[in-house]
Amino acid sequence: MLATLRGVSKVFTNPRTGKGLVALNDVTLEVERGEFLCLIGPSGCGKSTTLNLLAGFEFPTVGEAAFKEAPIKAPSPERGVVFQEPSLFPWMTVLQNVTFSLRGTEDRAMRYLEMVGLSDFAQARPNELSGGMKQRVAIARALAMDPDILLMDEPFGSLDEQTRRKLDNEVLDLWKKEGKTVVFVTHSIDEALILGTRVVLMSASPGRINKEWKIDAPWPRDPSSPRMVKLKEEMIRGLQVCSCAKSAPQVSFINVDLEV
């Protein structure tokens, strides 16, 4: 197993009230090398928290987060992250943005800019790029570090539908070509259906794993095929059930019984 969360609960404490909020409750997730795992679920169910635990930005309150069988103690170039907002340095050129985070050569940065179709924009500044192009730079930046796993948190959520589809297909191509493992958070069932080799549905209040589907259909996938239509219906139904929960439960102490 490449990455695992074992019996993970995550409580965020409000520093003002001292109260805890259970963001994840007893989540066990195993990410297999080479898979394209999509995480879906209603807003606030803990998708980003799950990804941040794998990235090493957050740590479990209870349980263990591990990468290649070793506890995750900090962020690492082995685990590349792409957020919804590309967070590029506005004063640097595209090439400098990729080279900087690489702490490496421009040659290598250029290779990845070429891969995402942006070599002509290497000397441009981020404000000269469209939203989709900025997100491509963020992907090039993550890939250039040659990570084992790419953790993507709603990477195309703020883009228009057409650009999103295009970038979805590009990520799919890169995943196939580079042999990476991808964990991709999205709230779009359509996106998960088109991309994932596995789709995991999380439910809210508190966040936990609800259900999962393995999808072994080849690409490009036809969303109108009977099999995809059936899968989509199942996922919509699952998501509806998961979305009924109210806001995340609050607890008074950290070492509470997390079986809320």
Is the CB of 99 or the CB of 205 nearer to ligand ADP?
205
Other residues' Cβ atoms within 10 Å of the Cβ of residue 85 = 15
Tokens of 5: 């969360």
Minimum CB distance to ligand ADP, residue 258 (Å): 14
| Segment lying near ligand ADP (by CB under 6 A), choices 45-53, 132-140, 162-170, 208-216 | 45-53
The span from the CA of 98 to the CA of 209, in Å, is 35
Contact set for ligand ADP, span 1-40 (CB under 6 A):
12, 21, 23
Q: Does 59 bind ligand ADP (CB under 6 A)?
A: no
Instruction: Please give the C-alpha separations between residue 244 and each of 20, 38, 41, 239, in angstroms, as whole numbers.
Output: 22, 21, 11, 9
Minimum CB distance to ligand ADP, residue 39 (Å): 8
| Segment lying near ligand ADP (by CB under 6 A), choices 41-49, 106-114, 175-183, 211-219 | 41-49
DSSP 76-121: -TTEEEE-SS----TTS-HHHHHHHHHTS-HHHHHHHHHHTT-GGG
129: left (phi over 0), alpha (psi -120 to 50) or beta: beta
Other residues' Cβ atoms within 10 Å of the Cβ of residue 127 = 9
Helices (H), the chain: 47-55, 94-102, 106-115, 131-144, 161-178, 189-195, 226-243
Q: Return the one option of ligand ADP, Mg ion, none that residue 21 interacts with (CB less than 5 to 8 A, by type).
A: ligand ADP
Compose the 188-217 pattern: x for residues touching ligand ADP by CB under 6 A, - for all others: -------------------x----------
The span from the CA of 155 to the CA of 157, in Å, is 6
Q: Return the one option of ligand ADP, Mg ion, none that residue 43 interacts with (CB less than 5 to 8 A, by type).
A: ligand ADP
Which residue among 45, 199, 200, 251 contacts ligand ADP (CB under 6 A)?
A: 45
Q: Does 61 bind ligand ADP (CB under 6 A)?
A: no
Which residue among 47, 79, 136, 211 contacts ligand ADP (CB under 6 A)?
A: 47
- Provide φ and ψ at 57, rounded to 5°: -85, -25
Is the CB of 45 or the CB of 194 nearer to Mg ion?
45
Minimum CB distance to ligand ADP, residue 12 (Å): 3
Count of residues engaged in binding ligand ADP, rule: CB under 6 A: 13
Is the CB of 130 or the CB of 250 nearer to ligand ADP?
250
Other residues' Cβ atoms within 10 Å of the Cβ of residue 162 = 9
Q: Does 248 bind ligand ADP (CB under 6 A)?
A: yes
Other residues' Cβ atoms within 10 Å of the Cβ of residue 33 = 13
Q: Which residues bind ligand ADP (CB under 6 A)?
A: 12, 21, 23, 41, 43-49, 207, 248
